[in-house]
Amino acid sequence: MLLVKDAGFYTSLQDLGRFHYRHLGVPVSGAMDLIAAARVNSLLENDPNDAVLEMTLNGPKLEFSEPAFIAFSGAEMQLELNGEAIELDQAYFVSAGSTLNCGHTSHGIRTYMAIKGGFQAPAILGSRSYYFPVTPKKTIQAFTEIPYTPNSDYESKVLRVSHSKLYRETTLNVFPGPEYELLSDAQLEALFAGTFTLAKEQDRMACQLQEVIEGQSHQMITSATLPGTVQLTPSGKLIILMRDGQTTGGYPRILQLEDYSVNVLAQKKFGDRLNFHRMPG
CA distances to 2, 81, 152 from 97, in Å: 10, 11, 13
pTM comes to 0.94
Q: What is the pLDDT of residue 258?
A: 97
pLDDT at 257: 98
Domain 169-278: homologous superfamily in CATH? Cyclophilin-like (2.40.100.10)
Class of domain 2-146: mainly beta
Please give the share of the chain, as a percent, with pLDDT higher than 70.
98
Q: Which among 166, 131, 170, 112 has a CA at the least distance from the CA of 26?
A: 131
Question: Is a pLDDT exceeding 90 seen at residue 163?
Answer: no
Residues paired with 77 in a beta bridge: 105
Would you place residue 175 in the very low, low, confident or very high pLDDT band (cuts 50, 70, 90)?
Answer: very high
Residue ranges matching CATH 2.60.120 in the chain = 2-146
Q: Where in the chain is the domain with CATH 2.40.100.10?
A: 169-278
H/E element holding 81? strand 68-81
Is 43 exposed, middle or buried (CB count within 10 Å of its CB: 0-12, 13-18, 19+)? buried
